[in-house]
Structure formats: C-alpha cells, structure tokens
C-alpha cells in the first residue's frame, strides 16, 4: 500500500472540522476542501461540567452532514478526535454513543498532551522548502528553530516547543503543555459584559497569566526563535491585523504578522461590543461573541514568550500565521500509522 485516504474530524469546544486527504511517503495531499461548522459544543461546560442539550443537537447536525459527505467519498480510514470540552463533560458518553451511531466511528477523547503533539505535527509538517531552518519564508518570516506552535482553541490552548535543529531535530517535539484556557472558556468565565469592562479584562488577564506561568514550567519558552500560531482565533485576528475586509484563507495562511499590528487588533476587538465585532467581515458569525477572549489570550501568550526569549538574547517581534494544525496532524499521523501497518 503506497498511499491511504484518510478522513479526519477535529471536534473542539467551538467548532468541528472535517478534512479528507491522501497520505503517502511524500506527505499529505488534500482530496476535498475542509469543512468547518461552528457548533459551540462547549457551551456552559466550564461552569456546569456537562454538555447542554442544544449544544449536542448542533454537534449531531454537523456530524450528520459530515457523514453524508463521506458517504460519497472513498476513504480508507476515519479518525474522529474530540478535545477540551469533551474531556471536561460528565455526559460525554452520550455524545460518543451518538457520534458512533451516526458516523460509524467512536470519538477519541485525547488528552491535552496528545492534542499539543498533533498540532505541532500539523503545523510544522506543512512548512515548505522555503521555510526550512535558517531560511526565509515566502512572506519574509525567519523560521529558525526552536519552533513554538500555539493552538488557541475554544476550551484549551496548547503550546509546544520543538528541537533546536542541532541536537534535537526541529520538527521533533521537545516539550508541550495544554492550558485549560480558550476563547469560549475565558468569555464565559470573565468577559460577561457587552463590551467587557476593564475589571473583567484585568481578571481574565490574571487568569491567563497564571496558566502561562504554569505552562512555562513545562516548556522552554526562553529557547523559542519562531512562533507559529494556529486555530480560528489566531487566523481570524491575523486577518483583522492585515486589514482584510472578509476572511481570506490564502492571504492569512503563512503570513508574517508583526506584534505591533496584532496587539492593536487584539486590543481593539477585545473592547468592541458584539454589534461592532459583527460588522467586521473577517470574523465568522459563530466567533463574534467569543473572539475577544481569544484575542486577549493571544496577546498575553505572544508577550510572555517574547519576554522569555529576550532573557536568552533572542528578539521576537512577529509570528507566522498558519491554517494548519490539529486537523492536519490528525490525518497525517493516522495515515502514517496505517501505512506502517500499525492500524
């Protein structure tokens, strides 16, 4: 078997995504465009520790749609991965049973450590030849290792650091950590007013920084040279920082975003009312009410990583925005294991 066609599903706290790709010795080749549905599965999970019935119904509707699409595709394997919200929900078995009955495959509720590793795989495996260590990307971003991949989700945020490219290969995970903070979780926990008050922002910032403090005891942030940001929050805020009037995946993917522009965009969107955010065409309607919380997390992570790197004499003032992350990692990892006869 020289290649396999894999369907991957990434079911997060805010969105669910589907991708079908062929995996072979050269890598991954997308067969059909990715599908994204905003389902807010994690609605209320931070507070009540269980899935709300309307959230489950939104998820099931999306899974039925994916099942219909996959029924018209040839695939050799399907992997359905569920992350932060499902890890926290006491009634997750109900969700798992229903998904299995619809799609024929049971969700894998993976730990944060595996989510982090798969995000790193997906983000770094898609770096092109012009983005190898020590070279410039097509957009001018220097991509020296060690890479830090940040996957900022609705319920959790994974940060992963790779090797230095000398003693440890650049695309090998050196350390990773999953922080229990995300755009939905921070919004539901702290940013309750419309727009949020300064006091709410300060409390959210303190919460975020405490999680980053813990993360930095697990990952060597001071060794990072290149930050790669993935997930809907990161790419949405990148589009806004770039001045996109509507979301442009091709423009955002691989773009170098300077800290000055992203901090301005993050702060502006954070302090907007829901109505004002709704007027920004680059924000998906399903993200309007929570993207401010994600923007705050993103600013704090970037500032804290840059400060840590500065202690080692490394100056970081930009990041690489990527459309590739957990979903790519799910498909690539599953396909590689299938080709190796491990599945």
How confident is the model over 180-220, as pLDDT tens digits? 999 999 999 999 999 999 999 999 999 999 999 999 999 99
Cβ 63 vs Cβ 94: under 8 Å = no
How many whole angstroms separate alpha carbon 280 and alpha carbon 300?
23
pLDDT at site 316: 97
* pLDDT (tens digit per residue) in 84-109: 999 999 999 999 999 999 999 999 99
* pLDDT (tens digit per residue) in 301-316: 999 999 999 999 999 9
Q: How confident is the model at residue 140 (pLDDT cuts 50, 70, 90)?
A: very low
- Count CA atoms closer than 13 A to 17's CA, side-chain side: 23
Backbone angles phi, psi at 139, to 5 degrees: -95, 5
Task: State CA 218 to chain mean position distance.
Answer: 19
* pLDDT (tens digit per residue) in 248-291: 999 999 999 999 999 999 999 999 999 999 999 999 999 999 99
Domains 3-112+329-339 and 128-323 share a fold: yes
Encode burial over 66-103: b for 16+ CB neighbours within 10 A, e otherwise: bbeebeeeeebbbbbbbbbbbbbbeebeebbebbeebb
Quick one: residue 330, left, alpha or beta (phi over 0 = left, psi -120 to 50 = alpha)? alpha
Which CATH code is given to the segment(s) 128-323?
3.30.420.150
Inform me whether the pLDDT recorded for 131 exceeds 80: no
CB atoms within 10 A of CB 230: 28
pLDDT at site 127: 74
Q: How confident is the model at residue 138 (pLDDT cuts 50, 70, 90)?
A: very low
Cβ 123 vs Cβ 84: under 8 Å = no
How many whole angstroms separate alpha carbon 266 and alpha carbon 257?
12
Supply the pTM of this predicted model.
0.93
Stretch 133-159: mean pLDDT = 76
Inform me whether the pLDDT recorded for 118 exceeds 90: yes
Q: Token pair for residue 341? A: 């006869």
Stretch 53-74: mean pLDDT = 97
Cβ 15 vs Cβ 154: under 8 Å = yes
Domain boundaries, the chain: 3-112+329-339, 128-323
Inform me whether the pLDDT recorded for 35 exceeds 80: yes
Average pLDDT, the chain: 94
Superfamily per CATH, domain 3-112+329-339: ATPase, nucleotide binding domain (3.30.420.40)
Q: Token pair for residue 2? A: 């020289």
How many whole angstroms separate alpha carbon 323 and alpha carbon 133?
20
- Using the structure block, give the residue that is written with the tokens 């959230």: 55
Cβ 108 vs Cβ 82: under 8 Å = yes
Cβ 10 vs Cβ 17: under 8 Å = yes
146 preceded by cis ω (within 30°)?
A: yes
Cβ 14 vs Cβ 40: under 8 Å = yes
């Amino acid at each position: 078997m020289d290649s396999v066609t894999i369907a991957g599903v990434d079911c997060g706290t805010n969105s669910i995504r589907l991708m079908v790709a062929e995996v072979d010795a050269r890598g991954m080749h997308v067969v059909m465009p990715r599908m994204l549905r905003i389902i807010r599965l994690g609605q209320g999970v931070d507070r009540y520790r269980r899935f709300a019935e309307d959230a489950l119904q939104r998820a099931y509707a999306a899974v039925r749609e994916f099942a219909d699409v996959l029924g018209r595709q040839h695939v050799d394997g399907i992997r359905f991965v569920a992350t932060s919200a499902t890890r926290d929900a006491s009634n997750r078995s109900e969700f798992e049973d229903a998904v299995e009955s619809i799609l024929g495959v049971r969700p894998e509720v993976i730990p944060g450590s595996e989510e982090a590793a798969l995000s790193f795989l997906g983000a770094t495996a898609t770096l092109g030849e012009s983005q190898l260590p020590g070279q410039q990307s097509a957009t001018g971003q220097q991509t020296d290792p060690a890479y830090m991949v940040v996957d900022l989700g609705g319920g959790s945020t994974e940060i992963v650091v790779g090797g230095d490219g000398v003693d440890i290969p650049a695309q090998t995970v050196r350390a990773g950590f999953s922080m229990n903070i995300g755009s939905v979780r921070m919004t539901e926990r702290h940013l309750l007013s419309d727009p949020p008050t300064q006091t709410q922002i300060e409390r959210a910032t303190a919460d975020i920084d405490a999680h980053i403090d813990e993360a930095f005891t697990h990952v060597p942030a001071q060794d990072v040279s290149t930050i790669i940001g993935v997930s809907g929050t990161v790419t949405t805020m990148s589009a806004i920082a770039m001045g996109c009037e509507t979301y442009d995946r091709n423009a955002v993917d691989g773009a170098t975003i300077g800290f000055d522009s992203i901090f301005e965009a993050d702060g502006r969107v954070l302090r907007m009312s829901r109505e004002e955010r709704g007027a920004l065409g680059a924000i998906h309607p399903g993200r309007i009410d929570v993207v401010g919380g994600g923007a705050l997390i993103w600013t704090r992570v970037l500032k804290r990583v840059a400060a840590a790197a500065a202690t080692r004499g490394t100056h970081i003032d930009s990041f690489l925005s990527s459309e590739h992350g957990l979903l790519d990692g799910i498909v690539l990892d599953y396909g590689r294991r299938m080709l190796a006869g491990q599945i």
